[in-house]
Structure 1
Amino acid sequence: MTLTATTRKSRWWDGDSTQRYWMELVNVDTWGSELIAPDTPRYDLMHDVRVGDVVLHWVGKNNRMGFKSGMYGASIVAGGLQPRAGDWFGKPANTIPLTKYAPLPRPYLLTDLRADHQEDILGVKGALERDYAETAGYTMYFPFQKHPTTGLKPNQGYLFKLPTEVVTAVPDLLPDSDWGGFDRPLMAPPVAGQNGVKQSYAGYCADPVLKKAIEMQAVRQAIAHYEAAGYSVKDVGAFESYDLEVVRGGEVRHVEVKGSQGYVRKVILTRNEVTHANEFDRTDLVVVADIDWERHLDGSINTGKGAMSVYPDWRPSPENLKPLSYEYFLD
């Protein structure tokens, strides 16, 4: 391995093509569709991730789902870094698309890792420190450390470089002991709803490519539904505040379509969408939930059918509307 260092951070993996593994530490209910981190120097490791690299997903102990700390699956990097394409708690965030998510048959929990491979992992860490003794004080991005009382524990942070030597020593960290290739058939990425956790609303997605794919799948299903009912259908979403105009004889309906990759309890509406639905008598709301999808290594996304619900002659009732933002005019 060659060594480069930037702002007290060592890239000990530079020049070694076998070092293609990363570990993402998450505390949210979905993972495997993308990496996302603020566009700040603290997260500049995002720029080192390459297409075809493998990302292992570790769920931290302080997660809202109540999952035990451990490794839950792995994905392949499907595309390059997308600058400021996402949102991180209201701040611009860089994103990296992932594909081919595969869950472990059962999570490899931290307690088991301590019992089975603590010395193996700490041995790899020690070897790195010996090989690069001249970088003392530099961040090595190693994902684990040894707590003086509890033993092995993940470091605090978001993205870490996982040495190939760790994967070799602990093959059960991956969904399959020989997994990690490009053409191995794996399961689609997880969607909201994995592990029993369901998305609570539709309409927001940090990944613009995925968002568009989900929207188009919902529109296609809505078009098929109305055509099967004998309507002629025109897609007007590009220039109207609703998505479809459907006509059958003298009956004209306007259709608002919403799509989601997970369970839907509420949807996000624009001011124009609410106004139009209240002004045009025959407005339908179509919601397509639980849309399956898979991202390929070229970045393209395939979608499958979701569960469709149709609300005819829909009126957004004031008691069901909750403002998410306001315009404030200065005096």
Structure 2
Amino acid sequence: MAIKAWWDGQLSQRYWMEITDRPDLGGELTAPQYNIALKPEWSYELVTHVRPGDIVIHWHKKLVGEPAIVGWSRAVGPLSESTMSWTSPGAKDSARHHVDVPNWIMPLGALHLLDAPITSADLQSIFPQIVSTLEGFSYAPFYVYGGRQLRAMQSYLTKFPAELIPVIESVGSLELDAEPNDFPLLPDTKTTPNGHGGGQGWLRDAKLKVAIELHAVQKAVEHYVELGATDILELGKPFDIKLMLGGDERRIEVKGSSGAVDSVLLTRNEVIHARGFESMDLVVVDEIEFERLSNGEYATKGGRIRVWNGWSPSEQSLTAMSYKHELSPSALGNGIPC
């Protein structure tokens, strides 16, 4: 289905809210690509719009005894696809059935639990301010029930407008300035021992990864501005930049690196999109210098820019990084409890 991505091109709009009762809070966002009726659903498809470095706020239905904002995680990426078993809701156990459906997965990391969860009662106390702030925003995290009660959306993933943060923090801190101390491995760059360019490896610091990505996009934009590009729009998905050049629309996939690279990581969707649009360019900005500042942020500069016009990745240029393996009947039948 077509998502109205009102946040595109707005770097401050990097917040989402997961509504859940899952026991493995902060593990990953996972959603089927369509519901039990085999129809698309916006709250599932929003998972594909989450970018590495985005913050996913967790609304848990019962972790603290009542519905509340209990913490947040950072999106790690990359987005991937798999298969999940979907159970029809609402029916008694004897009437339920399971369907295997494709799903989207966005890994999360750096789970931060709030010292003081912000409960539904806290939010009810600022009901008018929340309703007023959310007016006009699609896919909002809350709705009005019965004309006077604020409730979390009956959905999975919602878009959390940046404008809502100061309103929420009038009754409790989201602690968004907390320094994560346990980032999982993230895609970044390495250089081979002989000094030649390597491929994209893995990095532990999500802030650095985001800083490098944003720097690369900035340098790509500057390059096309010098060529006379207009109507430049930064998107992120399913490609990074859309612009007009010489009267034609061009779409740009951008990859950034702090080291010298001769290969980059691509998602399945990036490959599909690149092959389906003729005026597609690949921009790689590597050898980006960075410095960690006293406030924990990163300053970036420099780099080397390379451009591949009319880019369409061939099968010969791609290397499989993982596989989905279909299970045949087991030697132990349906399995033995252990």
Q: TM-score, normalised by structure 2?
A: 0.46
Which protein has the bigger helix share? 1
Flag the structure with larger Rg. Answer: 1
Q: Greater relative contact order: 1 or 2 (C-alpha under 8 angstroms, separation 6 or more)?
A: 1
Q: TM-score, normalised by structure 1?
A: 0.47
